[in-house]
Copies of this chain bind each other. A is one copy, B any other.
Amino acid sequence: MSTSAASDPGARTRGRPRDPALRERILDAAATLAMTAGIELGFERIAQEAGASRTTLYRWWDSPQELLLDAMLERTRWSLDHDSEGTAAARLRAQVIDAVEILSAPDTGRPLRALAAGALTNEKVRASFIEHWLEPRRAVAATILEDGMITGEFRQDLDVQAVIDALFSPIYHRLLLTRMPLGRNFGETLWNLVEPGLSPS
């Protein structure tokens, strides 16, 4: 149910059609609540905030966090598109810096905390979160890394996943747990630290 945003356009169904505006209101409400209020996200509150019925939420989503994930996915298009020009190093560096920038913004970072909390609590949420949020972004980085390995810009024997972990997980770590400053330069610091390990010989 969740994250199946599209209702197949050709599907001519009987009965009252789903209200698209309502869906938007619900997603908005979830995003707003996740940003302003704390972590406590429940169908009850979202429904109230959206002026919708709780029943409706249950019809379309299995948990508030999956709902929130839908909201986040529609509202944050970050770093799924990227330049294909320049060196692999430059492109990867830009990715890291972008990530810091976006995750430090409250309207992305805050809901992400709620999402992460959900992922830790609920296995299904975790799977969705990885599949629809983390993995697509890791894939972009992976592509760049593999490009660089092919062109010889990077070492041939890199463990791609480990590199991605080293570059990006510190950002999530600071956002979610330590709350250390996520300033502009943190991305650069991180890159400078890991970059030497990428170059050949």
- List residues of A whose CB falls within 8 A of some B CB: 39-40, 113, 116-117, 119-121, 126, 129-130, 134, 158-159, 161-163, 165-166, 169-170, 172-174, 176-180, 186, 189-190, 192-197, 199
Contacts and interface: CB of A to CB of B under 8 A. Distances in A.
Contact of A172 (B39, B40, B121, B177): B177
Given A39-B120, A117-B120, A121-B39, A170 B178 contact: no
Contacts of A121: 39-40, 117
Nearest to A164: B170
Contacts of A180: 161, 165
A170 B177 contact: no
B190 A166 contact: yes
A102 to B, nearest CB: 17
Contacts of A199: 196
A167 B156 CA distance: 21
A196 B201 CA distance: 10
A70 B40 CA distance: 24
B186 A192 contact: no
A119 B178 CA distance: 10
A177 B165 CA distance: 11
